[in-house]
Amino acid sequence: MGVTREERPWGFYESLRMADNYQIKRIVVKPGAELSLQLHHKRAEHWVVVAGVADVTRDDQIIRLERDGHIYLPVECKHRIKNVGETDVEFIEVQVGDYLGEDDIVRFEDRYGRA
pLDDT at 4: 84
* Tens digits of residue pLDDT in 78-100: 999 999 999 999 999 999 999 99
**Ranges under pLDDT 50 in the chain:** none
How many whole angstroms separate alpha carbon 33 and alpha carbon 114?
14
Q: Half-sphere exposure (CA, 13 Å, Cβ side) for 29?
A: 23
Which strand ranges, in their side-by-side order, compose the sheet holding 22-29? 4-8, 11-18, 22-29, 89-97, 43-51, 70-73
pTM of the model: 0.94
**Beta-bridge partner residues of 20:** none
Phi-psi bin for 68: left (phi > 0), alpha (psi -120 to 50), beta? Answer: left
- Contact at 8 Å (CB) between 71 and 81? no
**One-letter identity of residue 65:** L
pLDDT at 1: 54
